[in-house]
Amino acid sequence: MTTYVKKCPECGSTNIFYNKEKGEIICKDCGYVIEESMVDFGQEWREFESEAGEKRRRTGAPMTYTEFDMGLGTEVGKTADISKLGKEKGKFLRLRKWQYRISTAIERNLKLALAELKRVSSYLKLPASVEEEAARIYRLAVQRGLVRGRSMESVVAGALYAACRRHDVPRTLDELSEASGIEKKEIGRTYRFVTRELEIRIRPSNPADYIPRFASALKLSPEAQSKAVEILEKAQKAELTSGRGPTGIAAAALYVAALMHGEKRTQREVADVAGVTEVTIRNRYKELLDELKLAKELKKIKKKRK
DNA sequence: AAGACGAAAGTGGTTGA
DNA sequence: TCAACAACTTTCGTCTT
């Protein structure tokens, strides 16, 4: 769903160019990019979903935005036009100069930011697609002037975080924080701000997405790992996952799975790799045992050991 | 002695009046 | 703008292995 705009919010001109293929709306007078492919659907965050295993979440999946945006260098008029302008000439030249300054400033900023982005993303070993998405988000943020009042680094981190979520390769805020050197709170803040302003919808991350990384950090066997995923699926069906932090659930599932496969890890160990506390693991763990019939299974296994 | 457990108080963020 | 609220953390004492 795309909104049609009649007036440029920047210069008030009504000379709007609407490019359907690219999903861009550009003001012909000042070159301001008003909107780029606004995608609707998708859920905001967890919480409000008391549904019973609805699988409808996939609706708002990734869309177009492949364009890495080539000719952004919008220019204000050409020298040839100026002669026709008469008294407007001065204004026009000023406009053009201003435009030039802005765009070079943006370019310079972008160069720095992309370097930083590259650094962080390679530190986290993120796939190229995520890096590109993050770059795109950052670029949009700059165009919208969202960086003002925030450090460039934090916006980069926020963009990366958002890109990770969109591509289902979630990193925790802690990891982003460690990689970027920005405080967790700050990243979360800019992440929320940027995604809201750009209307980037991100559905709640799936706990299962965290399993492989956590499992390997804990050196768990593949069997235990798939057991954890299995547990997670059950948990989702039992509606244990909504409104909970995905990492906590993933951690608890791993903890149980490890127990069941005789590869015991302490709550402390699991908590550390998942970036939650032992208490959270305990709570989730208890819920899992209560709601699923895992308690029996555990006892069985315990007996076997004796 | 280390790990698991649970109660209680505190934190940061969301929601709805 | 503020209070209620939910999830999560911190801290700490107790029980279990």
CATH for A1-42 is 2.20.25.10
Q: What is the pLDDT at residue A98?
A: 73
Q: What is the pTM of this model?
A: 0.68
Q: What is the Cα–Cα distance from A149 to A138, expressed in whole angstroms?
A: 15
Q: What confidence score (pLDDT) does residue A174 get?
A: 87
- CB proximity A48–strand B (7 Å threshold): yes
User: Hey, do A105-197 and A207-305 end up sharing a CATH topology, with the first three levels equal?
Assistant: yes
Shortest CA to C1' contact from A259: nucleotide = B4
**Among residues A263, A273, A251, A252, which one has the least CA distance to residue A222?**
A263
Strand C lies under 7 A from the Cβ of residue A283: yes
Q: Where are the alpha helices (DSSP H) in A167-293?
A: 173-180, 184-197, 211-217, 222-237, 246-260, 267-274, 278-291
Q: Which CATH architecture has domain A105-197?
A: Orthogonal Bundle (1.10)
Output the distance from A48 CA to B16 C1' rounded to whole Å: 14
Write the single-letter amino acid at A156: V
Quote the CA–CA distance of A182 and A107 in Å, as a whole number.
Answer: 23
- At CA A252, angle to CA A249 and CA A254, rounded to 5? 110
End-to-end CA distance of chain A: 62
Distance CA A278 to C1' B11 in A: 17
Q: Using the CB atom, is residue A274 less than 7 Å from strand C?
A: no
- Strand B-contacting residues in A 269-288, CB cut-off 7 angstroms: 278-279, 282, 285-286
From the Cβ of A47, is strand B under 7 Å away?
yes
Q: What is the pLDDT along chain A (306 residues), one digit of tens a residue?
A: 334 455 555 555 555 555 443 344 555 555 455 444 333 333 333 333 333 333 333 333 333 333 344 334 444 555 555 555 566 667 767 776 776 666 676 777 788 889 999 999 999 888 889 999 999 999 888 888 888 888 888 899 999 999 998 888 888 888 898 888 888 888 888 898 888 888 888 888 888 889 989 988 888 898 888 999 998 888 888 877 877 889 999 999 999 999 888 888 999 999 999 999 999 999 999 988 887 766 677 667 666 655
A275 touches strand C (CB under 7 A): yes
pLDDT by residue (tens digit) across A31-70? 455 444 333 333 333 333 333 333 333 333 333 333 344 3
Q: Please report, for chain A, the start and end positions of each structural domain, with discontinuous segments joined by +.
A: 1-42, 105-197, 207-305
- Domain A207-305: give its CATH superfamily: Cyclin-like (1.10.472.10)
pLDDT of the residue at A237: 85
